[in-house]
Chains A and B, each alone.
Chain A
């Protein structure tokens, strides 16, 4: 089992003829992912690594019954690509682009919610259920099928921790990047619940960071809804206080945005606190 995707997931790649899209499609195929279609406007009829390319998502969905999409398009095109996928009946969309305007992200997330579509991103490496389905860009060397569920705001931080897991002989059930924010559809709390319900997942690694208040909500979920062990690593303990957006940022969230306040809340909720990836591995060995 895995969360959000399965062997039955039929993947469509938006921007498949671009340099990144083409490269990552090859990696996803090699991982065993069922990539059924690619979309690049104006390149319909082409074939990339054996995958047929269409001009429009709706054509690709009609022909191939694709039900999940990952977009390798620049930030200026992210809104258009995501809205096209959502309107064409895709059930699950991954938006990898970073630096997507907030207004565009609001449109993507609201369209998704109105249509019952789940979204990861923007600014996400996507997700991978090692050995089953890869709808993302995680480096292959750091992936191995196993029982640890990993959820992260930062892509690179999840690679780092997955590297340590694999080097310690541990594997992952799913590795999910929810995106760098500041807006999210699926957040840490959603993923904690999914991992709690997933029979393959025996322990969860929660990777948080300074800024926002999402980890405080996650702490509440851990305390009230979970019995699987959660290991939390929150980075940014030694970061200087970031630039505040006027008074509104402080008024909305108060002092809860620091890494230390999040670590305190997660600790109080019963999560095991790690200060670095080595301690994540130590905790995992302790609970297994």
Chain B
């Protein structure tokens, strides 16, 4: 789960990272009595906010009201804007990039730093890789003093203000089970460092360790209705299901990322188009299957449902029961193709048979059937 900027900054501030003075407002009246000039920043989760006009410098309350009313009324990058962060303007001598994430190869936190920050950092880093430095934490001792000195020297930053800041970012990364803690840009103003923007991505799998925090965040989150994404290309995660909305008419449900992607490729190679991709995960059960089928059936764009199952840990009788559950009470049924094999497959076929359903064993056959049905439905 990605936090909003104001949430990320609150966490950073509590852990000693300097941030600009700011006020969170959700109505135009909240803009009166603030100090100007100021930055008005739309609180959305997308990257590319600055380029899209979500960060506006305003000279006085009137300008702030014009900027804010536009953002609140029209939203940004397809998201509703319900909160604005109004911050003091910081004069930056330099802007840098600093992030903590996990290195998959070494299995330790890695600090990534760039001597330039800002909205173009991604492009710049790919063009000039030598401007980016990495320091890996030690698995036992964490971030070493030598690593902090190395980063400070590489970035030409004053050690006295940089050392506590980078240590605090690593602390936040570990304490909150983050996948990413990113400050971009990090401003150097005189000898002090200030986090002008902040992004924290939490590890949803660790929510059980942070129940209060995650409950609170879910309550604040009004960006999209739980469980599904309607916008093309958006990813929604509900417990046990990953759902992605695409631009086609076949709803694909699979019980694993690898087999789902394989089926997606095969459908595409056969001339079909997948419009809804749901992946249940390796230990999927009845409930997840039922839920995924519900998402597919509710989508009026879907002409065919293709269920691609091959069970290891997943028991086919469990997911077959989920298919039966999901079809129960459905208003109208698009053509359904079920490919099912693997652990407890005979029991699974029995469950389907009792509900008047059948399945095929071969994936190529299932893909061809689904594509033909979709083409037939389109004519």
List residues of A whose CB falls within 8 A of some B CB.
Answer: 20, 75-76, 96-106, 109-110, 113-114, 123, 125, 136-139, 141-142, 152-160, 163, 180-185, 187, 207, 209-210, 212, 233, 235-252, 254-255, 275-278
Give 13 A-B pairs besides A114-B140, A138-B312, A240-B233 with Cβ atoms closer than 8 angstroms.
Answer: A20-B313, A101-B206, A101-B209, A109-B107, A154-B258, A155-B258, A157-B262, A180-B257, A183-B102, A210-B261, A236-B261, A242-B235, A248-B112
Tell me if B26 is interfacial: C-beta within 8 Å of chain A. Answer: no
Tell me if B99 is interfacial: C-beta within 8 Å of chain A. Answer: yes
A277 surroundings in chain B (CB, below 8 A): 262, 363
A183 surroundings in chain B (CB, below 8 A): 102, 104, 107
A138 surroundings in chain B (CB, below 8 A): 312
A271 to chain B, nearest CB (A): 17
Q: Bits for B115-140, please: 1 = Cβ < 8 Å to A, else 0.
A: 00000011001100000100000011
Tell me if B268 is interfacial: C-beta within 8 Å of chain A. Answer: yes
- Indicate if the CB atoms of A276 and B262 lie closer than 8 Å: yes
- Indicate if the CB atoms of B311 and A75 lie closer than 8 Å: no
- Indicate if the CB atoms of B182 and A247 lie closer than 8 Å: yes
- Indicate if the CB atoms of A160 and B310 lie closer than 8 Å: yes
A73 to chain B, nearest CB (A): 11
Tell me if B101 is interfacial: C-beta within 8 Å of chain A. Answer: yes
B275 to chain A, nearest CB (A): 12
Tell me if B256 is interfacial: C-beta within 8 Å of chain A. Answer: yes
Q: Which residue of A lies closest to B343 (CB)?
A: A139
List residues of B whose CB falls within 8 A of some A CB.
Answer: 47, 97, 99, 101-105, 107-110, 112, 114, 121-122, 125-126, 132, 139-140, 174, 177, 179-180, 182, 184, 199, 201, 203, 205-206, 208-209, 233, 235, 244, 246, 254-259, 261-262, 264-269, 274, 281-283, 310-313, 341-343, 345, 363-364
- Indicate if the CB atoms of B97 and A157 lie closer than 8 Å: no
A232 to B254, CA, bound (A): 22
Given contacts A76-B208, A110-B139, is CB(A98)–CB(B310) below 8 Å? no
B235 surroundings in chain A (CB, below 8 A): 242-243
Given contacts A110-B139, A243-B235, A248-B99, is CB(A101)–CB(B104) below 8 Å? no
State which of A102, A163, A181 has its C-beta within 8 Å of the C-beta of B310.
Answer: A163
B231 to chain A, nearest CB (A): 12
A250 surroundings in chain B (CB, below 8 A): 122, 125-126
A153 surroundings in chain B (CB, below 8 A): 258
A278 surroundings in chain B (CB, below 8 A): 364
B16 to chain A, nearest CB (A): 21
A251 to B174, CA, bound (A): 21
SS class, residues of chain B in contact with chain A: mixed
B143 to chain A, nearest CB (A): 14
- Indicate if the CB atoms of A252 and B112 lie closer than 8 Å: yes
A96 to B282, CA, bound (A): 9
10 contacts between A and B (CB under 8 A): A103-B177, A106-B107, A141-B341, A160-B258, A160-B259, A180-B257, A209-B257, A238-B265, A244-B47, A250-B125
B177 surroundings in chain A (CB, below 8 A): 101-103
B208 surroundings in chain A (CB, below 8 A): 76
B206 to chain A, nearest CB (A): 4
State which of B114, B126, B180, B283 has its C-beta within 8 Å of the C-beta of A254.
Answer: B126
B209 surroundings in chain A (CB, below 8 A): 101
- Indicate if the CB atoms of B269 and A276 lie closer than 8 Å: yes
State which of A137, A210, A212, A275 has its C-beta within 8 Å of the C-beta of B343.
Answer: A137
A182 surroundings in chain B (CB, below 8 A): 102, 104
Given contacts A139-B343, A153-B258, A247-B99, is CB(A184)–CB(B47) below 8 Å? no
A238 surroundings in chain B (CB, below 8 A): 264-265, 267-269, 274
A75 surroundings in chain B (CB, below 8 A): 205
State which of B256, B267, B312, B341 has its C-beta within 8 Å of the C-beta of A137.
Answer: B312
B110 to chain A, nearest CB (A): 8
- Indicate if the CB atoms of A103 and B203 lie closer than 8 Å: yes
A76 surroundings in chain B (CB, below 8 A): 208
A212 to B174, CA, bound (A): 22
- Indicate if the CB atoms of B312 and A139 lie closer than 8 Å: yes
State which of B140, B174, B199, B265 has its C-beta within 8 Å of the C-beta of A275.
Answer: B265
A178 to chain B, nearest CB (A): 12
A237 surroundings in chain B (CB, below 8 A): 265, 268
- Indicate if the CB atoms of A245 and B108 lie closer than 8 Å: no
- Interface-centre pick from B97, B105, B180, B262 (highest chain A CB count, 10 A): B262
A136 surroundings in chain B (CB, below 8 A): 312
Nearest 6 A/B pairs, CB to CB: A154-B258, A157-B258, A156-B256, A101-B206, A156-B259, A110-B139
B256 surroundings in chain A (CB, below 8 A): 154-157
Q: Which residue of A lies closest to B174 (CB)?
A: A103
A125 surroundings in chain B (CB, below 8 A): 282, 312-313
Given contacts A98-B282, A209-B257, is CB(A247)–CB(B47) below 8 Å? yes
- Indicate if the CB atoms of B281 and A99 lie closer than 8 Å: yes
- Indicate if the CB atoms of B101 and A248 lie closer than 8 Å: yes
B185 to chain A, nearest CB (A): 11
A90 to B281, CA, bound (A): 28
A71 to B169, CA, bound (A): 34
State which of B104, B110, B268 has its C-beta within 8 Å of the C-beta of A184.
Answer: B104
